[in-house]
Structure 1
């Protein structure tokens, strides 16, 4: 058994991650058009009609744009906590009540061969979460759209083999950039987004204190970051803490506007 993971897109223009274990296939968020998501799944030689469901982190448009369309077109169950459903329902069109699955934060549940656990995070949404997935042996987590890292979240991330971690912005680029002051303040706040430096610090803790072997940087800003800058900043923080990329941990990037690499995660 092994987990399969692919970032179909990650950024403020839309987020969607593909996760599979054996015969179970799910999407984490669907923040792009149904057409884009279908084409993205086709491009990794998978079949969208075999999806078991969609899990939603929070109700922002870049995470739910395609949820209603995919839910109706492919008869998919959609999983989210009650607060997220309350805000999301008016935004996604008509839904089949039998496909609405309400989850409890922190309470593990199963979707076929996948064990799933949602983890409450700090972001400016109704009740945003990160997710941890397991096939019973290996584990992965996706933690983006979080303004701060708490000890509770960190303890969950220390238990995974593969971590997709937000590396949204370079602080100086954001401060000097064209965003209005209120938006800069929001992004830098505890309900905003993690910077490259934050990501490096968290990556260090995840490798030193846990079982993390692969880190994928996600949700990079188009205006306030560069992929090369995010990679070098996080790599530099790891090096400062005597962790060497390529030897001690594999570090990679996801993309805002295209499908990334397919990973097989097995111990």
Structure 2
């Protein structure tokens, strides 16, 4: 897997097995997605499916052009499809597939489960991926992590986990108050500390990596996010020096391909 881009300006993650590869979200232009894939020696021609999490532009920006240029199947839930089409993003019916919350599908030898998160989109959902007793969970764009979410994602080998903002930076920053309220709400985004407290409930002995994702451009920095998360986890005797590696993501540079 590789996080091709992550942040408030665009999100896209690549996951593959020996049977094929897929993208979670296409929140960059088609040209930039191709550039990011090329950096890890892949191409959009290698992509066998696209899973959409929700209709916000930083998750579907490239969808219209990518789907027009490449005959890739696109999966989203019913309400999200309605919102996508209301934005004049019309997908060829032969490429359009439904993947509703708490459904399970098998793609490229992976058992994929969708699950709802708490975010101000119409019906946002993220995904877990299982193959041969290995598990990846991707969870961002949620105002909090519920017990149900924890039960679905726990015991993963690898997490792509939201660590959106530092609360003090957000409160003191330039955003208008109503925007700050939205981010801090239960349908906004999780802070570094809240993310870490959720992580400590789902990390097990098999967990090897956590990619901190969807960092705010204005209200967070990588070093602060990593330090905040490590500090909380270390308080719970989770060793981020040897047991669990905390990894950065970036809006411009893909993470190196990690094989589980």
Q: Same fold (TM over 0.5)?
A: yes
Distance in structure 2 (CA, Å) of the matches to 1:196 and 1:94: 36
The alpha carbon displacement at 1:26 in A equals 0.3
> Runs ≥4 in structure 1, deviation > 6 angstroms?
none
Matches within 5 A, 1:12-27: 12-27=8-23
Does residue 203 of structure 2 align to residue 203 of structure 1? Answer: no
Aligned to 1:63: 59
User: In the alignment, which of 203, 213, 216 is matched to residue 218 of structure 1?
Assistant: 213
The aligned residue for residue 246 of structure 1 is 241
C-alpha deviations, 1:205-259, integer Å up to 9, x for none?
Answer: 1225x74221110000110001000000000001111111132211111112221
Q: Does residue 1:115 correspond to 2:100, yes or no?
A: no
SS in 2 for 1:262: coil
Q: Is the Cα–Cα contact under 8 Å of residues 155 and 203 in structure 2 kept in the other structure?
A: no
Matched, 1:74 2:70: yes
Q: Please give the per-residue CA displacement for 1:79-106, whole angstroms capped at 9, x wherever unaligned.
A: 0000100001232533211111011211
| Alignment correspondent of 2:167 | 171
Task: Indicate if the aligned counterparts of 1:67 and 1:92 stay in contact, CA closer than 8 A.
Answer: no
Q: Which residue of 2 aligns with 1:227?
A: 222
- State the Cα distance separating 1:125 from its structure 2 match: 0.2
Between 19-28 and 210-219, report the one with greater CA deviation. Answer: 210-219
Q: Secondary structure at the match of 1:264?
A: coil
The one of 148, 161, 167 aligned to 1:152:
148
Match of 1:134 in 2: 130
Alignment match, 1:162: 158
Q: Is the 8 A contact 1:54 1:67 kept in 2?
A: no
Deviates more, 1:85-94 or 1:119-128: 85-94
Q: For 1:235 and 1:189, how far apart are their aligned partners in 2? A: 24
Pairwise CA distance, 1:200: 1.2
CA contact (8 A) 1:158 1:211 kept: no
Unaligned runs of 5+ in 1: none
Specify every segment of 5 or more residues in structure 2 that has no aligned partner in the other structure, as ranges.
Answer: none
Matches of 2:27 and 2:90, distance apart in 1: 17
Greater alpha carbon shift after TM alignment, 198-207 vs 188-197:
198-207
Deviations 1:161-215 (A, max 9, x none): 100100000000000111000000000000000000011111211225x742211
Query: Given the alignment of the two structures, is residue 31 of structure 1 paired with residue 42 of structure 2, yes or no?
Result: no
Q: TM-score normalised to the size of structure 1?
A: 0.94
Of stretches 33-42 and 256-265 in structure 1, the one that deviates more from structure 2 is 256-265
Per the TM alignment, residue 71 of structure 1 is displaced from its structure 2 partner at its CA by: 1.1
